[in-house]
Amino acid sequence: MSDLLRGASAARALTERLAAESAALRARGFMPTLAIVRVGERDDDLAYERAARQRAAQCGVAARTVALPGDATQEALLHALTALSGDARVHGILLLRPLPAHLDDAAACAAIAPEKDVDGVTRASMAALYAGEAGFAPCTAAACLALLRHGGVPLDGSRVVVVGRSGVVGRPAALLLLRENATVTVAHSHTRALSEVCREADVLLVAAGRAGLIGAAHVRPGQVVVDVGIHAAPDGSLCGDVKFDEVAPIVGAITPVPGGVGALTTAILCQHVIQAAGGSA
């Protein structure tokens, strides 16, 4: 059986460090503050908001929610985001997405001040990530990297296959892995012979949003598998993009779902808020 790469233990270690960093900031008169902007009451959004607020409390980060009704106008959303961008007491802004279909996602993201863009959704953050400059990467992609680092997984010179090229996970994760000198292949829904491509990896990072896409045929012994997918089964249990029971006995290490990447994402969010507030976390 493979080792488990547990996000919870990485999150605990980071949370302790962040709480100390936040205490130092507060002693200097800064209260690191996150504003969460939610439109409507989607279950996913409410669950992530709850998890983020809980983690923020553990990290010494103040969190406030701006909740707009599901039928909020574009003007109301832009007004809320612009006000938070100009509010000196707020250091980080998290916009819960996807937005309802009647709202313009690109315009909403553009209304977030780049220095408060703790989830890396603005063009400025994307450009910084592309150029390898300072800025905030999307929290989930950054959490994948933090988890690999916490697990002591060598990346320099390693062959990494990322399955998925979304702007939220696959694409930014690939850029972050390049920064670590990994040899990165990005596979996606048009990739031919996916199982062969996956088997070439030392590290296989799966963010395809397809429950059980990766099975025994896609892996080989010794690989490290990071499963970003989260899917709710009809019985309420959670599973990932990887068939855990099939893959875990073959590979060297694997992230569980739940308790893998997702567990670390909110800690990375708080890290970004503390950095935006002037901390060195």
Decide if residue 163 touches ligand NAD (CB under 6 A): yes
Q: Choose the stretch contacting ligand NAD; rule: CB under 6 A; options: 12-20, 54-62, 102-110, 258-266.
A: 258-266
Decide if residue 209 touches ligand NAD (CB under 6 A): yes
CB 48 within 8 A of CB 37: no
| Residues of the chain by 3-state class (helix, strand, coil), percent to 5 | 40, 15, 40
Using the rule CB under 6 A, which residue among 140, 158, 223, 255 binds ligand NAD?
140
Decide if residue 270 touches ligand NAD (CB under 6 A): no
Find the angle CA(7)-CA(230)-CA(119) to the nearest 5 degrees. 70
Query: What mask, x for binding ligand NAD by CB under 6 A, covers residues 33 to 72?
Result: ----------------------------------------
Using the rule CB under 6 A, which residue among 5, 224, 261, 268 binds ligand NAD?
261
CB 195 within 8 A of CB 222: no
Using the rule CB under 6 A, which residue among 194, 224, 242, 269 binds ligand NAD?
194
What is the spatial distance between Cα 77 and Cα 71, in angstroms, rounded to a whole number?
A: 10
Phi, psi of 205 (to 5 degrees): -110, 115
In angstroms, give the least distance from the CB of 269 to ligand NAD: 10
In angstroms, give the least distance from the CB of 214 to ligand NAD: 9
Q: Choose the stretch contacting ligand NAD; rule: CB under 6 A; options: 27-35, 85-93, 123-131, 158-166.
A: 158-166
CA nearest neighbour of 256 among 2, 4, 48, 3: 4
Phi, psi of 158 (to 5 degrees): -80, 155
Decide if residue 145 touches ligand NAD (CB under 6 A): no
Q: Choose the stretch contacting ligand NAD; rule: CB under 6 A; options: 78-86, 119-127, 261-269, 273-281.
A: 261-269
Q: Where are the beta strands (DSSP E) in 164-240?
A: 183-187, 203-206, 224-227, 231-232, 238-239
CA nearest neighbour of 205 among 246, 170, 171: 170
CB 58 within 8 A of CB 15: yes
In angstroms, give the least distance from the CB of 26 to ligand NAD: 28
Using CB under 6 A as the binding rule, the residues of this chain from 228 to 257 that contact ligand NAD are 228-230
- Note the residues at the interface with ligand NAD (CB under 6 A): 140, 163-166, 168-170, 187-189, 191, 194, 207-210, 213, 228-230, 261-262, 265
